[in-house]
Chains A and B, each alone.
Chain A
Amino acid sequence: MDDLAVRCDGLEKRYGDVVAVAGLSLHVQRGECFGLLGPNGAGKTTTIEILEGLIAADAGDVQILGLRWASNEQELRQRLGIHLQETQLSEKLTVEEMLRLFRSFYRGGRPVGELLQVVELEGKRRSRVGTLSGGQKQRLSLACALAGNPDLLFLDEPTTGLDPQSRRQLWEVLGRYRAGGGTILLTTHYMDEAQTLCDRVAIVDQGRLIALDSPQALIAARAEPKVVVHQGTLEDVFMSLTGRTLRDE
């Protein structure tokens, strides 16, 4: 059995003249938290949605948990948890109803009540989704992704737009999932998020891999410390690699 959670080689995807992904290869170990880091338009969403079996690649090979989308779609869907960048859940449903719907799609996993505890939303059980704060909505979406007790979690910008406290709350949920042996592949353009959560990060720009290592190693090798006492950040790494900042949109 393949010990890799994600194996993709030579991934390519273009939209007309735009090359969204230009020959990307990524290997994610089981149990690892792997970050896909890059500015807007770098190709993060396209890449992760190819891995999720939602977009067909123009070229390249993808294996998830040792399986291929073409031959094992139903099994993969049962074993993956997916959070998309732009989904808005049904505003008219209550938190519990929404989660129960997603839970019904899976053959196994935790009961709905327990899932609500995991994401700290028991108190909001009967609230309408439309009344939740941004952070609570993201945690509900995460609970939906966790509904089938997935071996691998794909998260596309799970904390974009959240206040620092909500982000930290979400990180704690992810920490507990990893402690249970789960694998995470997430995209982000927050440096501190990658530094806090990820064992390894791949920095991508214009659909290309430009660096791949642990956050510490990348910082040690690339960042020129701004102040002598300050060690430098992934932001500095990106700067030194591309001459741009990560968030110059």
Chain B
Amino acid sequence: MSSVDRGGAHHPLVELTLTRLREFVREPEALFWTFVFPIVMTIVMAMAFPSRGAQAVPVGIAGGDAGAGMRATLSNSPGIVVRDIPSGGEQRALREGEVHLIVVPTDPPTYRFDLARIESRTARLVVDDALKRAVGRTDPWVAHEQPVAVPGSRYIDWLIPGMVAMGIMSNGMWGVGFSIVQARMRKLLKRMVASPMRKREYLLAQLLARLLFLLPEVAVPIAFGVLAFGMPVNGSLAAIAVVTLIGALAFGAIGLLIGSRAKTFEAVSGLMNMAMLPMWLLSGVFFSASNFPDAVQPAIQALPLTALVDALRAVVLEGATLTAVRAELVGLALWTAVPFALALRIFRWR
């Protein structure tokens, strides 16, 4: 290749990749969404869902003065906070999660709670235990309790790898898809295919540029998690690099496919949201995907974000090796190859 005279320019693949990088770093909004937003989001999520263990159970007492005795008992029990519920406000208090259970001071007491909510079932056990003990229940034995703080078991530890994966998804899809549509709208794509540029190299450069953003994109939130929350990183950095790299390629290729024909920002935005929404909801970034019924599990497991989230969590939190997450990596490789090949075929250059 060195025999080719490019008049001071690099190989086209390099120049195309550099072009994409320059366009990106000269776009302040894009930098914000890529680097600042995930950190802000993580902090907000950490505040909204603090570690569960230390939290007191909020319980409501209905019935005004009649409940004074129970009220005193529950208030004095560790791990319970009591809130008075005005009559008529019960439904709302439960719905809003203000209290997890309402005690009606009948004899024996009545518990009102939603059986489907795990917090409410916990509240029932705690309240029942406190009230029975207060009237003199004797237990056959008292178990020894050994509180263990397992590093990596907190919500925040679980959340951060998920946020990193979600960032790889949205940056990959938007970063690639949007810039392509912009170039198409400006007729720059048409101008470039009027030159001897190789189409495959243009598309490849979009993916390569993604890989170069990846290091800060992954390193910043993970370093933040380690420094601010003491998140453990049990896997090797090399394994993290490989997993995120393959993930970034997959979502870059999907972005390529989504941007392959759209001629307006509205069209590409619609397609992006349509593709990303199911993954936001189903892939287990904010809550475990295993909450969904078995019938839809195969579909959920086939989503690229599920694969990336699972692989990244396994590597970061459990110290899994690449061999252990090979199924996810194969899935992501397929999500790279198929969309890329398809995009190359149906791409609209004008």
Contact = CB atoms under 8 A, between A and B. Distances in A.
Q: How big is chain B's contact interface, by range?
A: 20 to 34
B194 A54 contact: yes
A100 interface: yes
Contacts of B12: 101, 104-105
Interface string B336-347: 000000000000
B188 A90 contact: yes
Contact of B8 (A78, A86, A103, A108): A103
A82 B8 contact: no
Given A54-B193, A104-B11, A112-B8, A93 B22 contact: yes
Given A97-B19, A101-B19, A84 B10 contact: no
Contacts of B194: 52-54, 77, 80, 82, 84
B9 A87 contact: no
B160 to A, nearest CB: 32
B190 interface: yes
- Residue among B12, B19, B194 having the largest count of chain A Cβ atoms under 10 Å: B194
Interface string A98-128: 0011111111111111110000000000000
Interface in B33-53: none
A124 B254 CA distance: 38
Contacts of B5: 107-109
Contacts of A101: 9, 12, 15-16, 19
B190 A54 contact: yes
A112 B9 CA distance: 8
A73 to B, nearest CB: 9
Nearest to A92: B26
Given A90-B19, A90-B23, A84 B7 contact: no
Nearest to A101: B15
Contacts of A106: 6-7, 195-196
A88 interface: yes
B196 A78 contact: yes
A77 B27 contact: no
Contacts of B196: 74, 77-78, 105-107, 148
Contact of B27 (A78, A80, A89, A92): A92
B326 interface: no
A98 to B, nearest CB: 8
Given A52-B194, A54-B194, A148-B196, A88 B188 contact: yes
A182 B96 CA distance: 77
A92 B187 contact: no
Contacts of A92: 22-23, 26-27
Interface in A175-214: none
B195 A93 contact: no
Contacts of A84: 187, 190-191, 194
Interface centre among A88, A104, A105, by most chain B C-beta atoms within 10 angstroms, is A104
28 contacts: A54-B193, A54-B194, A54-B350, A82-B194, A87-B188, A87-B191, A88-B187, A89-B186, A90-B19, A90-B188, A92-B27, A93-B23, A97-B18, A97-B19, A100-B15, A101-B9, A104-B9, A104-B16, A105-B197, A106-B6, A106-B195, A106-B196, A107-B5, A111-B7, A115-B7, A144-B191, A144-B195, A147-B7
Given A53-B194, A104-B14, 5 more contacts: A90-B23, A90-B183, A97-B22, A104-B6, A144-B191
Interface of B: 4-12, 14-16, 18-19, 22-23, 26-27, 183, 186-188, 190-197, 350
Q: Which 4 A-B pairs have the closest CB atoms?
A: A104-B9, A77-B196, A111-B7, A104-B15
